[in-house]
Amino acid sequence: MAMSDKPFPQPVSVRVGTLVNRISSTWEALELLTSQWPCPKCARYRKAVAACHDTLDGWASIDKAHCAFVEAAESAGLLTETPPIKGKTPLAI
């Protein structure tokens, strides 16, 4: 974990290629976003990168980075499980 890292309230599991990565912090999320992201870089991707930078710089909450990363991973079809997002009610199926 990097010195200024901020741990997520709950790890996020994402599939990149054949590997499942368990992302447990803002730094790990930013590393995956900037060096291993396999999908087109859409608006949710850019929002997640900005939120991770802002969180590491102390300008945004950990929850903001976590939520933005989950939304980016979900929109890219990379989530292997859907973690609850603080302040959002899970959808009933």
Q: Residue 43: inside a domain, yes or no?
A: yes
Number of helices (H), then strands (E), belonging to the chain: the values are 3, 2
Q: Residue 56: inside a domain, yes or no?
A: yes
Domain residues for 37?
25-81
Q: Residue 65: inside a domain, yes or no?
A: yes
Q: Residue 7: inside a domain, yes or no?
A: no
Q: How many CB atoms lie within 10 A of CB 87?
A: 7
Question: pLDDT: is 80 or 93 the higher one?
Answer: 80
Per the structure, how many domains does the chain have? 1
Would you place residue 68 in the very low, low, confident or very high pLDDT band (cuts 50, 70, 90)? very high
pLDDT tens for residues 55-64?
A: 999 999 999 9
pLDDT tens for residues 36-61?
A: 999 889 999 999 999 999 999 999 99
Q: Residue 6: inside a domain, yes or no?
A: no
| 89: pLDDT strictly greater than 90 | no
Q: Residue 91: inside a domain, yes or no?
A: no
Q: Residue 44: inside a domain, yes or no?
A: yes
Q: Residue 35: inside a domain, yes or no?
A: yes
Q: Quick check: pTM over 0.85?
A: no
